[in-house]
Chain A
C-alpha cells in the first residue's frame, strides 16, 4: 500500500466515525466538536487530492464559519449550553434505510472513464480564471441566492413579527 492509500484510508475511517459520532452523542456541544473534526478531516482529504484551494475553503467556510454558526444556533436556543438531548430511540427502519442507500450507491457505480492515475494539481490562478470566466453566471447566481438568503434570514428573525 502506498502512503497516499494509507492516509486516505485513515482519513476516510475518521470521516465516517466522526460523522456518526456527531449524530449520536447526546450533548449538542460535543456534536459541534465532532462535526468540526469531520470538516477538518475532509479538508485534509482535499489536500490529499491536490486541491489546496478547496482545502483552505473547507477550513475557512466549514470548519470556521459553519461550525461557529451552528454553535451560535445552539447557544441562543438553550438555557444551559451543556444540557443533554432527550434520548431518542433508534428503530431498525432508519438503520436499514441508511444501509440500503449505501449498498445501492456503491452498487450503482458503473464503468468509470479512464483518467490519470495521480491527482492533477491546478493552480488557484487557473481555478479563478475558470470560476469567473465560464462559471461566471453560476457565481452571479450564487451571489443572488446569498443575497436572497440573507434577506430571508433577516425577515425571519426580525423583531415584532407577528
Chain B
C-alpha cells in the first residue's frame, strides 16, 4: 500500500475545479479567465492520469493515458484560439476587460 488514495486525488481535482470556477467568476481580465479555465481543465487531466494509473487492467490504463494526451492537445488549441480572441479584442476595444466587451461586432 503506497498510501496514494483516491479521496486525496479527487479532493485535489475538486479543489482545482473550484479554484478555476472562482477565477472565472471574479476576474475580468481575459487572460486571467483563460488561466482559470486551464486550471479547471488540468483537474480533469489529472483525474484521467490518476484513474489510468490505478485502473484494474492495462488496456484501460493505456486508454486513460491516451485520453489525457488528447486532452492536453485540446487545451493547448483552446489557449491558442483564446489568445487570438484576446488580440482581436484588444485591437477592437483597446482593452481586454471582458466587462467592457458587451457586443460581438466591433
Contact of A102 among B15, B81, B87, B90 (CB under 8 A): B15
- List chain B residues, Cβ under 8 A from A142: 70, 73-74, 77
Asked if A135 contacts B70 (CB within 8 A), the reply is yes
Contact with A along B68-96 (1 / 0, CB 8 A): 11101111111111011111101100001
Asked if B14 contacts A102 (CB within 8 A), the reply is yes
Asked if A88 contacts B22 (CB within 8 A), the reply is no
Asked if A88 contacts B28 (CB within 8 A), the reply is yes
Contact with B along A45-85 (1 / 0, CB 8 A): 11011110110011001100110011011101100000001
- List chain B residues, Cβ under 8 A from A85: 29, 32
- List chain B residues, Cβ under 8 A from A8: 3-4, 8
The number of residues on chain B lying at the interface, defined by a beta carbon within 8 Å of a beta carbon of chain A, is: 73
Asked if A54 contacts B74 (CB within 8 A), the reply is no
Asked if A51 contacts B53 (CB within 8 A), the reply is yes
The number of residues on chain A lying at the interface, defined by a beta carbon within 8 Å of a beta carbon of chain B, is: 84
Known contacts A12-B8, A109-B10, A119-B4; A145 and B17 CB within 8 A of each other: no
Listed by A's residue number, 6 A-B pairs whose Cβ atoms lie within 8 Å are A8-B8, A22-B39, A94-B22, A142-B77, A150-B80, A157-B87
Contact with A along B1-39 (1 / 0, CB 8 A): 111101110111111111111110111110110111011
The verdict on B101 contacting chain A, using a C-beta distance below 8 Å, is no
Which residues of B are in contact with A by a Cβ distance under 8 Å? 1-4, 6-8, 10-23, 25-29, 31-32, 34-36, 38-39, 42, 46, 49-50, 52-56, 58-59, 61-63, 65-70, 72-81, 83-88, 90-91, 96, 106
Give Cα A58 to B48, complex, Å: 13
Contact of A69 among B18, B56, B59, B79 (CB under 8 A): B79
- List chain B residues, Cβ under 8 A from A62: 38, 42, 72, 75-76
Asked if B74 contacts A145 (CB within 8 A), the reply is yes
Give Cα A95 to B25, complex, Å: 9
Give Cα A102 to B19, complex, Å: 9
Nearest A residue to B50, CB-CB: A49
Asked if A12 contacts B12 (CB within 8 A), the reply is yes
Asked if A156 contacts B11 (CB within 8 A), the reply is no
Asked if A2 contacts B3 (CB within 8 A), the reply is yes
